[in-house]
Amino acid sequence: MLFHVRMDVNIPADIPVDVANEIKAREKAYSQALQRSGKWRHIWRLAGEYANYSVFDLESNAELHEILIALPLFPYMKISVTPLCRHPSSVRDDDA
């Protein structure tokens, strides 16, 4: 199943810089591991915002939920999810 996910990050200003940097480092490592596994297929920065659009390729809604709540930045995110399905006019054979 493919999912389009928008993540907007809002780290409170009162979090110490070293703590915020540590959380962001863990976030990067976690997200890159998921990208390497093929589960996190795409990640795109939204210019001028602390936000991204991502595409996940997962087995279920529950798997997406577990991945998202494990994000180190999850407590500071607003997340919206849109399930996707292959369009019948697509010329790509590799999209599920």
State the pLDDT at residue 96: 62
Residue type, 72: P
* pLDDT beyond 90 at 95: no
Ordered structural domains, the chain, with CATH = 2-84 (3.30.70.1060)
Alpha helices in 1-96 (DSSP H): 17-37, 61-69
State the pLDDT at residue 90: 86
State the pLDDT at residue 68: 98
pTM of the model: 0.90
| 69-91: average pLDDT | 94
pLDDT tens readout for residues 17-64: 999 999 999 999 999 999 999 999 999 999 999 999 999 999 999 999
52, 35 in Cβ contact below 8 A? no
Mean of the per-residue pLDDT values of the chain: 95
